[in-house]
Amino acid sequence: MLRRDFLQRVGGLAAGWAAGFPSLGKAETPAVMASEKPGAAPLIASIEKVTLRSGRDGRAPTWFHPRTCMIPGTQDPTAFMTLQTIAGSDYFGPVHWMTSDDLGKAWSEPQPVPPLGRVLQADGAEEGVCDVVPEWHPRTRSVLALGHNVFYRGPKFSRDQPPRWPVYAVWRDGRWGPRRKLEWADPRGAFIYTNNCGQRVVLPDGDILLAFTFGSTKAQPRSVAGVLCSFDGETLAVKRVGEPLTHTAGRGLLEPSLTAFGGRFFLTLRAEDQRGYVSSSADGLAWSPKQAWAYDDGEPLSMSTTQQHWLTHSDALFLVYTRQDATNLNVMRWRSPLWMAQVDPQRLCLLRATERVVLPLVGDGVKDPDKVAIMGNFHPVNVNADESWVTVGEWQPKNGIHGDLLLARIRWSRPNRLAPDLKAATVIQP
């Protein structure tokens, strides 16, 4: 009964979703997608690379984990970004935030997010926060910035990480609320449970659908499950957890990202067997058996333990990802360039003919890979009906860390009806 009620609640809203997604009760994926029709113009009109902050010369900080959401305004919406510096493998500075009120042309100076800073522990270690994803929550008119905790000892990532969990803070009317923990008292997450770097879906009633990667011990491969949460503008709370997807290779399934398109939910998963995985669901809780990402001709993509994320357009669903290519054979985990391709939502594969480079590899990924800046932690966002962005922070692990903060401006040839109308609300002053 609970699942039936949930499906009715999600699927029966013919007016569409306040968060910018269509009603799941109306399948909007045509039998032949618009960009596949003979003679149709490519859906992607252009992709422009923009450098938001220069860091390759080492004279400025190297920014990482840049992720953006859009906040309503009476004119253009405000772009709200969280980001943090990087100084080594999994070693990040305190979380910062900055804004743009001219569609990403000019940005405010990054400033700290006080509740998501470092906290000194009794044993001398520090608890930080990383992998933060901000998302506008229309019902409560707030930004929910959700990441997870991480522990540092001295100037490096602590290899003996204690149990870890989601950590969040809420921004509203220019002010940050306190640091909070998303509670889940389930022994399956005794070692770790998190939605780190994950995309999530805001439902019409204000509930939030996301996914946990979780494990009871460090040695146990992690599973992934859909999670339905309530959110009242202050507290995020788990309501239901679905059936898990499992994987035995390496650490299991990591960094799940979730989206909605054409009457269904879709989940993409990082793994450690040179593959990424995909699954779909009618309710976000019961998932189809996962399958490895492959092209429509059946060739699997070679992916090396790196996340993938979704980019939704009303005419097509896209995946943004990294993969092995002749130009990046010796680049760490093939994390440059960034690619995107259209997804066939029925067969759960990528249409090879639609594949495009989102942000190019800079340098020689075969003969001089240490000087290639890698781009494995990125985030897509729909900005308006005409364009979407992918933001990423470069870094060079073996060449002084340094890298630029980048934005790929993807312009559409046809309006994106999934982009929320952000001009109908009162201006919010950051």
Q: What DSSP string describes 383-422?
A: -SSSEEEEEEE-BBTTTTB---EEEEEEEESS--TTS---
Per the listing, tokens 């002010």 go with 175
Ramachandran angles phi, psi of 215, nearest 5°: -160, 150
The 8-class DSSP code of residue 367 comes to T
Per-residue confidence (pLDDT) for residue 28, from 0 to 100:
40
Per-residue confidence (pLDDT) for residue 41, from 0 to 100:
78
Per-residue confidence (pLDDT) for residue 39, from 0 to 100:
57
Fold of domain 2-412: Neuraminidase (2.120.10)
Residues in the chain with pLDDT values less than 70:
1-40, 74, 423-430
Q: Nearest-CA neighbor of 361 among 389, 379, 338?
A: 338
> Can you give the residue ranges of every domain in the chain?
2-412
What 3-state class would DSSP assign to 102? Answer: coil
The 8-class DSSP code of residue 110 comes to P
Q: Nearest-CA neighbor of 391 among 401, 402, 403?
A: 403
Cβ-contact 282, 243 below 8 angstroms: no
* Cα separation values, 118 from 62, 100, 148, 172, Å: 19, 26, 12, 22
Distance, CA of 1 to CA of 109 (rounded, Å): 50
pTM: 0.91
